[in-house]
């Protein structure tokens, strides 16, 4: 198992699924509306829609699922990362 073999999904945070086991790897309050995975850099981008009215946030996580960067987005972010 490892980053490149994991399946990612959102359910009140970011989870991975590998070898029959689901593990919550990022648990922070937010309205997690989307994510993108950059397997080459082993990074995950999470998109927080906040309240669906104001500008959202994008968080960049490293392969240990620690936030290394964040930036403000438009309203209801869900996609838009180009690798």
Higher pLDDT, 52 or 2: 52
Q: How many CA atoms lie within 13 A of 2 on its CB side?
A: 3
20's CB contacts (< 8 A; 6+ apart) are none
What single-letter DSSP state applies at residue 12? S
H or E stretch including 26? strand 21-26
Is residue 83's pLDDT more than 70?
no
The residue whose two tokens read 């922070």 is 28
Q: How many residues does the chain have?
A: 83
Q: Report residue 59 CA to chain centroid gap.
A: 7
pLDDT category at 64 given cuts 50, 70, 90 is: very high
What's residue 6's pLDDT? 87
pLDDT tens by residue, 6-48: 899 999 999 999 989 999 999 999 999 999 999 899 999 999 9
58-68 average pLDDT score = 95
């Amino acid at each position: 198992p490892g980053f490149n073999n994991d399946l990612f999904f959102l359910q009140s945070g970011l989870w991975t699924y590998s070898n029959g086991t689901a593990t919550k790897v990022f648990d922070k309050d937010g309205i997690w509306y989307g994510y993108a995975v950059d397997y080459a850099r082993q990074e995950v981008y999470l998109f927080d829609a906040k309240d669906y009215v104001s500008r959202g946030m994008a968080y960049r996580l490293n392969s240990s699922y620690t936030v290394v960067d964040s930036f403000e987005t438009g309203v209801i972010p869900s996609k838009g990362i180009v690798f």
